[in-house]
Amino acid sequence: MIPDPASHPALYIVLAIVFVVLLAARRVRAIRIAVNIAITLLMVGVLLIVLDQRSRFDPYFARVAELLDIGDQQVVGDEVRIRMSPDGHFWARATINGVPRRLLIDSGATITALSIDTVGASGIKVEDELFPIVLKTANGSISARAATVTELRFGTIVARDLPVVTSPAFGDTNVLGMNFLSRLASWRVEGRTLILVPHHPQERETS
């Protein structure tokens, strides 16, 4: 089947313009330079978009994005600023006992909750208790066990000896609750940005 030019006039007009520009660029040095700059800017723009998207899920891409100051989590002075994700939530990229993890920041959660996988990967010792902790959630009551995070760190914020709970019912989700937020000097939401201010700002990790 031969495509009908009349069915996609805008596409053929754009292709014609591109052809004319490229042809002129071969003859006029100024146009060639402008075309090269435009192509370079386009490639850089695409790279930054891809990097920003991957940084939400890959801690190594997240570290690169943070160094380039283009990620959804940035340090501005002593503050840590986190942009709202497309899902309408705020997600922090942190290290738990040195292990990179992504955590949902939820002011409606009383205590910080970690998945079983995160607890195991971070070397956190779950406390032995005679009776399990019962938590009330939107999906009903669940049993959980208590533990303590030696160090949770992101940006200029460090929380040490942070009580947490863990349960298979949490799935893969990690949540930063009010027992973490209450340790900060302040926290607030401005527009689509969550701003966290620590009492004692720490040096950012460089490794």
- For residues 28 and 112, the model is more confident at 112
Provide the pairing of β-strand 140-154 with 133-137.
antiparallel
Check whether 21 has a pLDDT greater than 70.
Answer: no
Predicted confidence (pLDDT) per residue in 112-138, tens digit: 999 999 999 999 999 887 777 888 877
Check whether 147 has a pLDDT greater than 90.
Answer: yes
d(C-alpha 144, C-alpha 169), whole Å: 8
Check whether 53 has a pLDDT greater than 60.
Answer: no
Check whether 168 has a pLDDT greater than 70.
Answer: yes
Check whether 57 has a pLDDT greater than 60.
Answer: no
pLDDT, mean of residues 17-37: 68
pLDDT, mean of residues 1-26: 64
Pick the most confident of 27-31, 43-47, 101-105. Answer: 101-105
The pLDDT confidence band at residue 207, using thresholds 50, 70 and 90, is very low
d(C-alpha 130, C-alpha 180), whole Å: 26
Provide the pairing of β-strand 99-105 with 175-176.
parallel
Q: Three-state SS for 66?
A: helix
